[in-house]
Amino acid sequence: MTSLLTGPPAVVAAGVDVFSDALRVQGVDVTDVDWRPPTIGSADDLTQLALDPRRAAANRTAVERVLAAGSVLTDVLPAHEVIGLTGRTLLHSGPPLTWETASGPMRGALMGACLFEGWAETAEEAEQLLASGGVELDPCHHHRTVGPMAGVTSPSMWMWCLTDPADGRQAFSNLNEGLGKVLRMGAYGPEVVERLHWMTRTLGPVLQAAVRSRSEDPLDVKAVLAQMLQMGDEGHNRNRAGSLMTLRDLSPAIVEVDAPSGDIAAVLRFIGGNEHFFLNLGMPTAKLAMDAARDVPGSTLVTVLARNGTEFGVQTAGTGDRWFTGPAQTPVGLFLGDYGPDDANPDIGDSAIMETYGIGGFAMAAAPAIVRFVGGTVPDALATTERMYQITMTENPAMQIPVLGFRGSPTGIDVLSVARTGWLPQINTGMAGRVAGTGQVGAGLVQPPVECFQGAVAALAEESRTALA
Amino acid sequence: MSAPPAVDGDAQVTTHVSLRSGVYADSVKLMQVSQAIGARPGVTAVLVAMATPLNLELAAGMGLSPDGPATPDQLLIALRTTDDAERDAAVAAVEAALAAREERGSAQAVPPRTIGFALAEAPQESVLAIVSVPGQYAVAEAMDAVAAGRSVLVFSDGVPVEHEVALKRAAHDAGVLIMGPDCGTAIVSGVALGFANVVRPGPVGLVAASGTGAQQVSCLLDTAGVGVSHVLGVGGRDLSTAVGGLATLDALQMLEEDPATERVLLVSKPPAPEVAERVAATSAALTTPVSSAALSADSPDLTAAVEALLREMGVAVPTWPTRPGADRSVPADAVLKGFYSGGTLADEAMLVAAPVLGDVRSNTPLRPELHLGADFAARGHVVVDFGDDALTVGRAHPMIDPTLRLEAISALATSGEPAVLLLDVVLGHGADPDPAGALAPAIGALELPVVVALVGTEGDPQGWSAQADALAAAGAAVFASNSAATRHALDLIGASK
């Protein structure tokens, strides 16, 4: 608080210019707000939220939990062990989904998982099994899990287990398969299934032994994230430095695992050949942080941004597990080979948890090297990050952006700020082919549909009215 | 260092060694931090570095090893100081240095889209927010300022009264003032906000639930040589039962604590009785004398209230400036046509006129049954407030845009109704840069007598005398006092009977 009457004030003005002009004539220091009428949420709902006396403290609580959360790598286990995934259940990315509404790459990934688990012998059988409702589908997010792209996780797949050392909370993700024709991009050919078998047979157990051998000194994944932002990664579409640091850090323990040297070499070659190997460690790190902010009544913080290839889903700290959904948009960006915009599937994957945590597209300014890959320019990247500061609650001092003077990344998306500014969260993403079995076709930029935020504003306002009545 | 530091018998040497997880900074930054901390008096050794084996070795050499195991992902803070207080200060300085943001080199400045973000980026200590966005969105912007501990002028109208109450309660709790909603006039430490005049600084603080009322009062005070410390608008509804004077009470308290303010004058329409009581009780408890210029049938005259205040202060009441108009004949059975831009000035005109003329119809009538509806060309005694909210939807205020009023004057000329035309012209910041220039052709073309209440000061950008001379040259009689202007119009009408 500053006293109003201590001297001639500086002025921050939103609205008609005539007042600002009159003030400048008087030599007053005036900052004009580039205000525009909100296009998301009704005026009544926005006012209800603005006036909610719980909001400031609730948002402070929620975002402090996000900043405080840590993440260390504590184990590697099959999904059936770690999250009790049993029977014919498959996890997928984004909000809840049915086979009927699933997009091409999601269908392809689900079919591939059925083939991998041996629930079907052929693609046709897998399709029939899924179409007949013979497999239960459930979002990763309902199991403290996040999965990139299709995010399809089956009981036999091995998962990273990350733990917040402060409170023992956990989050999980499957292991990254690499680029190109991979399950998460909707490919389900023999080479995809064979790779998944190798990952289950060899990669998972070797990583488990290596990670467990370091139980006294687990890999601090949050610290790797912080460092890679200073090495040209943004943690979503570029994970090159993070993957190399992880390889460097785990290699000695991997080499010491009691396994044939050919397997050890294969594991090291696999990790070293996959620039996105770290993504599946970064995502559950972000998930741990965002889960810490769950269930804070009155908070307008976004805890989940996730897409299933058909719909985009948002959750908030003030509305628990409720999903606010809208049609997933198709990313805009660059395409591999002969692929073009018509080949791209709508937005898919839980990897937008990175943006929810304030990096990825929010930290574009940290990763000039990939700006052009996702179809932008360096000034665009800087402007994007600057805009994201206006829809977030704080800056994460652990995640610094060098080119912005080591400013902390914009963290804690505020539904109310998104609605008022009209600026939607900016997400960097890979693009899967629209047709099942295609694999990756490109990478680009995408935003959530406004419907997600319209729904979230309405529900938060409704909760506010009920709570304050 | 050739020898370990000698430990002086009197000096109390303390150390601090800690490891932080989840904090990463590059080695250059950490070397800068170590160097800055090492330069502090009382710090004899310091190492702030990632806990790599090399750095742990350095720390061991300094006798500052951590107790437990350390990993290269952790940040090591190790220092030795001459005493506990300096140690704690040095650790705090390390944390501050790590958290400090470097100068941003971004040329990509994205303009702020909310008051909240603009305030977060505003370096100044003393910042006031002004909100003039459409009323249904004004509260969200204003709450940003309250949350940031800043006072707000809410120019917007159309804010629901329950939102006004919630906003003002939150502001009271935060120790800041809401000026408004629908507050068009304020002066804070000499800065004119919205529609306000250039008046000399001085001892009188105004708390105003009425914008043009505050302008009339501050201009007359200035003419009398008495300056104002601040004009704090509170919004036209503040003294209603629903709002309960929340901002008025806060404004009174602020002026009580303000060393520049020696006297307070409240300018308003009549408050709700129970609110008047609360305000009176609060005022009585203040050391600063508070007087009131509340317009009502019993006290219909802002000029008289200013004159009373001047007498209390021992200041001579001046002759309020005037200009004689053209000698136009008053038609028989002339009626009063008051075409106003200022709501309070229109009220004052009706309150002064009603005892002489009887009922005056208006779009903002003294009694509901006198409502004019939409027919501004109605015959008989009529006072129209063109600044009323209903007439400013989707168009600028008549103090800026004279179109509606000019149309009404033209319609009056065409109607042939015998009348005396009474106008207000409000000068100052925010107003038309040359209102006389806009009105003069219409006044000159009219055959009816025209009387103008010209509210302003010589210091205003338009200049009172220059505007008065232009209006007089067009044929209008000009008065600095609105009540004097109204009485002159009544005299003309009376003489025509």
DSSP state of A298: T
Share of chain A above pLDDT 70, in %: 99
Mean pLDDT, residues A47-65:
97
CATH number where B44 lies: 3.30.70
Is 50 exceeded by the pLDDT of residue B10? no
User: Across the interface, do A19 and B101 touch by the CB < 8 Å criterion?
Assistant: no
Cα dihedral A109/A371/A226/A78 (nearest 10):
10
Closest CA to A157 of A176, A134, A129: A176
DSSP A76-127: EEEHHHHS---SSEEEESSS---TTT--HHHHHHHHHHHHHHTS-SSHHHHH
Residue A253 sits in the same domain as residue A164:
yes
What residues of chain B lie within 8 A of the CB of A407, using their CB? Answer: 101, 104
Tell me, yes or no, whether B107 lies in a domain: no
What's the pLDDT score for residue A116?
A: 98
Q: Is residue A123 part of a domain?
A: yes
Number of domains in chain B: 3
Residue-level pLDDT at A6: 87
Record: contact A11-B127, CB cut-off 8 A: yes
Regarding whether B483 and B372 lie in a shared domain, the answer is yes
- The mean predicted confidence, pLDDT, of chain B is 90
Residue of B nearest to A11 (CA): B128
Q: What b/e sequence results for B34-73 when a residue is b if at least 16 CB atoms lie within 10 Å of its CB, and e otherwise?
A: bebbeeeeebbbbbbbbbbeebbeebeebebebeeebbbb
Higher per-residue confidence, B225 vs B270: B225
Task: Report which listed range, B51-55, B159-163, B295-299, is most confident.
Answer: B159-163
**DSSP one-letter string for A415-440:** HHHHHHH-PPPPEEEEEEBSSTT--E
3-state secondary structure A132-201: CCCCEEEEHHHHCECCCCCCCECCCCEEEEEECCCCCCEEEEECCCCCCCCHHHCCCCHHHHHHHHHHHH
User: What range defines the domain where residue B25 resides?
Assistant: 14-99
Average pLDDT over residues A246-266: 97
User: Does residue A370 share a domain with residue A308?
Assistant: yes
pLDDT-derived band of residue A248, with 50, 70 and 90 as boundaries? very high
**Among B residues 266-305, those touching chain A with beta carbons less than 8 Å apart:** none
- pLDDT of A448-458, one tens digit each? 999 999 999 99
Measured between CB atoms, does B70 come within 8 Å of chain A?
no
Decide if A15 and B155 are in contact by the 8 Å CB cutoff.
yes
Is the domain of B159 the same as that of B248? yes
B257 and B136 inside one domain? yes
| Residue A38 belongs to a domain | no
* Whether residue B380 is found in the same domain as residue B404: yes
B 429-468 → A contacts, CB under 8 A: 429-430, 461
B169 vs B1, more confident: B169
Q: Say which CATH number the domain at A181 has.
A: 3.90.1710.10
- Smallest CA–CA separation between B195 and chain A, in Å? 8
Q: Note the pLDDT of residue A20.
A: 86
How many Å apart are CA B347 and CA B364, to the nearest integer? 8
How much is the average pLDDT of A383-389? Answer: 91
C-alpha distance from A365 to closest chain B C-alpha (Å): 10
Tell me which residue of A90, A189, A71 sits closest to A147, measured CA to CA.
Answer: A90
Of residues B122, B175, B191, nearest to A8 (C-beta) = B191
Q: Are residues B278 and B397 in the same domain?
A: no
Residue B192 sits at the chain A interface (C-beta within 8 Å):
yes
Query: Best residue in A2, A3, A5 to probe B by mutation, most B CBs within 10 Å?
Result: A5
Q: Is residue B108 part of a domain?
A: no
Q: Is the Cβ of B139 closer than 8 Å to some Cβ of chain A?
A: yes
Domain end residue (candidates: B99, B126, B148): B99
> Of B153, B127, B488, B118, nearest to B330 (Cα)?
B488
Measured distance CA(A191)–CA(A170) in Å, rounded: 32
Nearest to A14 among B74, B141, B254 (CB): B141
Interval B208-235: pLDDT, tens: 999 999 999 999 999 999 999 999 999 9
Q: Do B189 and A6 touch (CB under 8 A)?
A: yes
Q: Same domain for A343 and A402?
A: yes
Q: Name which residue leads in pLDDT, B400 or A85.
A: A85
Q: Domain tally for chain A?
A: 2
**pLDDT score, position A343:** 93
Both tokens assigned to A429: 């993403």
- CATH code where residue A435 lies: 3.90.1700.10
The whole-number average pLDDT for the span B54-76 is 87
Is the pLDDT confidence value at A1 over 90?
no
Q: Give me the interface pTM, i.e. the ipTM.
A: 0.89
- Interface contact B114-A403, CB threshold 8 A: no
Residue after which a domain boundary falls, among B64, B99, B134: B99
- Same domain membership, residue B257 and residue B378: no
**Which residues of chain B make contact with A46, given a CB cutoff of 8 A?**
137, 140
Judge whether B66 lies within some domain: yes
Q: Is residue B131 part of a domain?
A: yes
For the cut 50, the answer to whether the pLDDT of residue B2 exceeds it is no
Give pLDDT, residue B7.
Answer: 45
CB-based contacts of B206, cutoff 8 Å, min separation 6: B214, B217, B218, B228, B230, B231, B232, B264, B265, B266, B267
pLDDT tens per residue, range B306-345:
999 999 999 999 999 999 988 888 999 999 999 999 999 9
Q: What is the pLDDT of residue B435?
A: 96
Q: Are A203 and A96 in the same domain? A: yes
Chain-chain contact of B128 with A44 (C-beta, under 8 angstroms): no
Please give the residue that has the higher pLDDT: either B245 or B24.
B245
CA distance A336 to A179: 12
Lowest mean pLDDT among A111-120, B61-70, B446-455: B61-70
Does residue B304 sit within a domain?
yes
A264 and A393, same domain (yes or no): no
Q: Please report the pLDDT score of residue A65 as a whole number.
A: 98
Would you say residue A246 lies in a domain? yes
Indicate the residue among A283, A314, A344 that finishes a domain: A283
Nearest to A398 among B22, B124, B167 (CB): B22
Give the minimum alpha-carbon distance from A123 to chain B in angstroms, rounded to a whole number: 45
Predicted local distance difference test score (pLDDT) of residue A375: 64
Residue A3 falls inside a structural domain: no
Q: Residue A164: closest CA among chain B residues belongs to which residue?
A: B22
B68 in A contact zone (CB under 8 Å): no
Q: Do residues B342 and B464 both lie within one domain?
A: yes
Domain end (from A249, A283, A317): A283
Same domain, B125 and B236: yes
Mean pLDDT throughout A171-195? 95
C-alpha A203/C-alpha A191 separation (Å) is 16
Say yes or no for a CB contact (<8 Å) between B118 and A4.
Answer: no
CB pairs under 8 A between A and B: 238
pLDDT at residue number B3: 41
Task: Identify the pLDDT of residue B497.
Answer: 64
Q: What is the pLDDT of residues A81-132, one digit of tens each?
A: 999 998 999 999 999 999 999 999 999 999 999 999 999 999 999 999 999 9
Same domain, B239 and B147: yes
Please compute Rg for chain B using Cα positions: 32
Q: Do A226 and B461 make contact, defined as CB atoms within 8 angstroms?
A: no
Q: Which of A229, A257, A283 is the last residue of a domain?
A: A283
Q: CB distance from B394 to chain A under 8 Å?
A: no
| Helices and strands (DSSP H and E) totals, chain B | 15, 19
The answer, yes or no, to whether residue B5 has pLDDT greater than 50, is: no
CB atoms within 10 A of CB A23: 24
Residues A209 and A311 in one domain: no
Do the chains contact at A9 and B191, CB–CB below 8 Å? yes
- Among B73, B137, B430, select the one facing A19 at the smallest CB separation: B430
The answer on A251 and A389 residing in a single domain is: no
Compute the average pLDDT of residues A129-142.
98
Please tell me whether residues B152 and B238 are part of one structural domain. yes
Q: What local confidence, expressed as pLDDT, does residue B496 receive?
A: 67
The DSSP H or E segment spanning B213 is helix B211-223
Pair (B400, B490) in one structural domain: yes
Residue B110 lies in a domain: no
Query: What residues of chain B lie within 8 A of the CB of A423, using their CB?
Result: 113
Among A394-398, A439-443, B167-171, B315-319, name the one with the lowest average pLDDT.
A439-443
Of B277, B312, B347, the domain-final residue? B312
Contact assignment for A15 to B132 by CB distance below 8 Å: yes
Q: Specify if A22 maps to a domain.
A: no
* Whether residue B161 has pLDDT greater than 90: yes
Cross-chain residue pair B109–A3, CB shorter than 8 Å: no
User: Of A38, A101, A92, A57, nearest to A453 (Cα)?
Assistant: A38
Chain A residues in contact with B257 by the CB 8 A cut-off are 5
Domain that holds residue A99: 71-283
Residues A263 and A327 in one domain: no
Closest residue by Cα to residue A250 from A196, A202, A199, A212? A212
Residue A5 lies inside a defined structural domain of this protein: no
The whole-number pLDDT of residue B105 equals 47
Chain B residues with beta carbon closer than 8 angstroms to that of A4? 126, 128, 151, 176-177, 188, 254
> Which range among A190-199, B24-33, B49-58, B353-362 shows the weakest confidence by mean pLDDT?
B24-33
Tell me, yes or no, whether B150 and B65 share the same domain: no
Residues A336 and A224 in one domain: no
Residue to test with chain B: of A1, A2, A4, most B Cβ within 10 A: A4
Residues near B319 by beta carbon (within 8 Å), at least 6 away in sequence: none
A70/chain B closest Cα distance in angstroms: 7
Residues A187 and A61 reside in one and the same domain: no
Q: Are residues A79 and A97 in the same domain?
A: yes
Task: For residues A134 and A217, state if they share a domain.
Answer: yes
In a domain, A27, yes or no: no
Segment B427-453 shows an average pLDDT of: 94
**Long-range Cβ contacts of B278-287 (<8 Å, 24+ apart):** B278/B244, B278/B245, B278/B249, B279/B239, B279/B245, B279/B248, B279/B249, B279/B252, B282/B249, B282/B252, B282/B253, B283/B252, B286/B252, B286/B256, B287/B256
Q: Is residue B317 part of a domain?
A: no
Position A385 in a domain: yes
* pLDDT tens per residue across span A120-133: 999 999 999 999 99
Residue B220 belongs to some domain of the structure = yes
- Residue A195: what pLDDT? 97
| CATH number of B418's domain | 3.40.50.261
Give me the mean pLDDT over the B410-425 stretch: 95
Report the chain A residue with the minimal C-alpha distance to residue B429.
Answer: A22
